[in-house]
Chains A and B, each alone.
Chain A
Amino acid sequence: MRVLKYPRPVEMIVLVNAIGFGLLFFYKKPYDYFILIAGLSVILLVGFGYFAIRKAKLGDGYLFLISGMLSSIGIIMLYRLDRELGFKQIVWFGISIAAFFASYFLYRRYQVWERLTCYYPAISLFLFVATLLFGRSINGAKNWIFIGKFSIQPSECIKIIFVFFIAAFFNKYKEEFKELTALRFKKEDIKLYILMSGAYMHLGLMVIQKEWGTALLLFLVYFMLVYVLINNRLFMLINAGMASLGGIGGILFVSHIKVRVDTWLNPWKDIAGKGYQITQSLFAIGSGGFFGTGIGLGRPDFIPEVNTDFIFSAICEEMGIFGGVAIVLLYFILAYRGFKIALYTVENFTKTLALGLTLLFGFQTFIIVGGVIKLIPLTGITLPFISYGGSSLIVSFIALGILQAISAGPAAYVTRKEKLDGESK
């Protein structure tokens, strides 16, 4: 009688993959049996990850499922757009799951993370310099390093390092920050300014690499963490002031940012040129309607950069606005699980880390989805778990692995949740 009960989440993922890849299989003649193999391997990968987490009791049971669902939809879409890319993404997905478990165990095995405060910015700088020296530019931003046949994007790693840095710094000076109810403009404030310059250094690195989207993302994460951890109005005001100064300066003096804002306000003015990307994205979303054209029946190939930045528009075209909203809701429950983990964690460093990583997912989704639907100016960053790209996918799963490790509440850290669970029993 199990059939009549609510399906378990993992069964829904299996169902989505079966339907998605099944449709792709029947869509084109001659039948490509490889599609079935691809679908099966995605199901096996998600299934393996899920049962490993369940059997070994590795913490939160939903994080992996939600991201597994998102990645499945991403792979189906990529497979539909370009068979070869879809296959590559499945390989990346396999590697990502390995990275997920690796980061889970590494994070728990070594308890050094909160002590590396000064090393994080150093690593970021090192990665940055390496990119400058060995990097090659793709689409105008010099942010790729080629190692043999593979290319990696160091800025993706810098996102996680950035969160580690802030968490470690706060943890180190938590006593001092606790007493800081008002800025005194004295020697004691110096820690704050060190934090600030550390954070802005990371932002600066992104700006130099012309990764405006990531810079904005890092600022938002930083700003929210400052709000939660320091809660000093004046300090927040200073940060907000500097950010708006930087933003306005960017709009006025950096032609690239000015163009982004202009095309956001009116993309129809230069529809063949600067407004081309965003208008094509809007055409795609509009022609999908509420229910979508159906997988394989739309023309998302008309959208530029559809595999990476604009994949949300392709999903909206073929799966409809309802499909798009479902994706957004999946991200929301992912963020919700993350917030819950942050709330239940007691230890200072881990709490900040959990919150920071969650915000990374949340804001990144908002920035890119909001960008492609023209809610906010477009800045090119990837959609976590869905966009094509090894770096992006692996880094997302590493961040998720760390979140998973925190949720498991290692022996050293007693989580409030377990305490509560214990009491209620």
Chain B
Amino acid sequence: MENQNKRITHVMVLICFLFLCIVVYLTYFEVFVKDKILTSSYNRRQWEQEDTTLRGSILDRNGVVLAKSTMDENKQERIYPYGSLYSQVIGYNSKAYGKSLMELYYNNELLNIREYSSIFNFKEKLSGELKTGNNLYLTIDHKLQEKAEQLLRGKNGAVVAMRPKTGEILAMVSKPDFDPSSTKLAQNWEELIKSKDSPFLPRATQGLYVPGSTFKVLTAAAAVENGMEDRTFDDKGSITIDGKIFNNFNSHVYGNLDLKSALAVSSNVAFAQIGSELGEKVLKEIAVRVGMNREIPFDIPLNSSRFPYESMGKTDLAAVGMGQGKLLVTPLHMAMIASGIGNNGIIMKPYLVDRVVSSSDITQKSVKPDKFSQIMSPETAQKVKDMMQYVVETGTGKGAAIKGVKIAGKTGTAENELSSKQKNKEHAWFICFAPVDDPQVAVAVVLEYSGSTGGALAAPIARDLMRQVLGK
């Protein structure tokens, strides 16, 4: 009998434990899980909220309205005055297809939903009054965004322009894009999701591309840091490392080169050699330092750039030295790297939303520029700057030159999975910042499978954007 009662207590403890599991799990769910799931388009409650709250507007840095909502007989409609121009930044907000990008990640701000709003807004909820959400002011400059879109029209790729000293994104265009209004989405949905061009991919933030020669600015920085500044290279048009042949673009022979002119002409021979000499540790270290393989905080999802090597052979080192191999970067990340070099070695955290303002014009949240990471010493940055300026003055980047402004840049013509099979399928890259001594803008341009060089196609686009920012 006594033993039996003892075992009954065991069973009681078990039941107690099971109930405790429920309590713990509910708390865990509340604190860690729910925020991730509530924005699902299948949660009809968020549309419920939308019926009683007028969704906030999204504006550019000068107050130009980029997205707004109107209420008409209890039916709310989201209007994008510039059509597809902001589809890859703001995204869409549709009952049928859900939300994306800024409409998704700033949903609570736009609808003014807070954890305790159900208690504070008790009165409105009971009386059914219409509430208004918060407005978002972006760092985007609408004029510049329009210009960037014009320059990129008809091509696939992305353009990012940002302020090196603060991290503000001034323009961000990805192509192809789509019209985000609900009616147009409903019309084109099938076609859009089936399209081989993936129009729903925001290339500027989520597109991953081989960086090609633009990566050489980092190889050059590592070379400077490791005392190779005064080295010279004998460029015979190709070099054999560990049995593998590395060619210059069009197998051009440049002869005797120092580091500066090697970057200016974008010599693969020189940089393959530098890469293999610097070694695995140094290359990996600088890649991680600039933010590869790392989450970079941003207002909409930003892919991590990849440096996917576990261990590297000589040929891997040579390929990475010239920006090929398995490296993958996002256009925004390349703009950040250019900014970092221009900003004396400091990359600022990139941001898109400058402030959140309530419907009664009270600022709820505003962003202060913040350092992301120090990628190189100011001295090294100065040397790389000089080299990049030389690229635009005399080298492959001449297409970006503007009269009376000192510009630093680097071209890239990246081989990829298509270009190895077909001719003329390389990605054209250009990264730059200007003016060199007091950088106001940094730009990254990538054109997918363009079939030409970064200097010929991408550099002029960057030039036109810089011209508009600098007023030249």
Contacts and interface: CB of A to CB of B under 8 A. Distances in A.
Interface of A: 27, 224, 227-229, 231, 268, 271-272, 276, 279-280, 282-283, 285-287, 289-294, 297-299, 302, 316, 321, 324-325, 328-329, 331-332, 335-336, 339, 342-343, 346, 351, 355, 359, 362-363, 365-366, 369-370, 373, 375
Contacts of A229: 4
Contacts of A365: 19
Given A325-B26, A366-B19, A375-B25, A294 B11 contact: no
A381 B115 CA distance: 32
B40 A290 contact: no
Interface in B19-40: 19, 21-23, 25-27, 29-30, 33-34, 37-38, 40
Interface stretch (B55-63, B117-125, B169-177): B117-125
Secondary structure class of chain B's binding surface, majority of residues: helix
A228 B7 CA distance: 5
A298 B48 CA distance: 10
8 contacts: A229-B4, A283-B40, A286-B34, A329-B23, A332-B16, A332-B19, A339-B9, A363-B15
B184 interface: no
Interface string B394-418: 0000000000000000000000000
A229 B33 CA distance: 42
Contacts of A332: 15-16, 19
B5 interface: yes
Contact of A287 (B8, B29, B38): B38
Given A272-B42, A355-B8, A373-B22, A286 B30 contact: yes
A293 B49 CA distance: 12
Given A289-B115, A291-B118, A373-B26, A283 B37 contact: yes
Given A294-B122, A370-B22, A375-B22, A339 B42 contact: no
| 6 nearest A-B pairs in the assembled complex, by CB-CB distance | A286-B34, A283-B43, A362-B15, A339-B12, A228-B7, A366-B18
Contacts of A292: 118
Interface in B428-454: none
Given A231-B3, A289-B30, A294-B125, 6 more contacts: A27-B126, A268-B40, A285-B29, A332-B16, A335-B15, A343-B8
A268 B21 CA distance: 23
A378 B374 CA distance: 51
Given A366-B19, A366-B22, A228 B8 contact: yes
A344 to B, nearest CB: 9
Interface residues of B, number: 40
B289 interface: no
A290 B119 CA distance: 11
A343 B2 CA distance: 10
Secondary structure class of chain A's binding surface, majority of residues: helix
Point out which of B7, B19, B33, B38 has the most chain A C-beta atoms below 10 A from its C-beta.
Answer: B19
Nearest to B18: A366
B22 A224 contact: no
A373 B23 contact: no
B44 interface: yes
B7 A231 contact: yes
Contacts of B43: 283, 287
A355 B34 contact: no
A297 B126 CA distance: 8
Nearest to A225: B11
Contacts of A339: 8-9, 11-12, 15
Interface in B98-132: 115-116, 118-119, 122, 125-126
B45 interface: yes
Given A229-B4, A282-B37, A297 B125 contact: yes
A357 to B, nearest CB: 13
A237 B415 CA distance: 63
A325 B15 contact: no
Nearest to A228: B7
A411 to B, nearest CB: 21
Contact of B11 (A289, A329, A351, A355): A355
Contacts of A294: 118, 122, 125
Contacts of B45: 283, 287, 298-299, 302
B23 A325 contact: yes
A170 to B, nearest CB: 11
B7 A227 contact: yes
B299 to A, nearest CB: 23
A328 B22 contact: yes
A324 B116 CA distance: 18
Nearest to B42: A271
B23 A293 contact: no
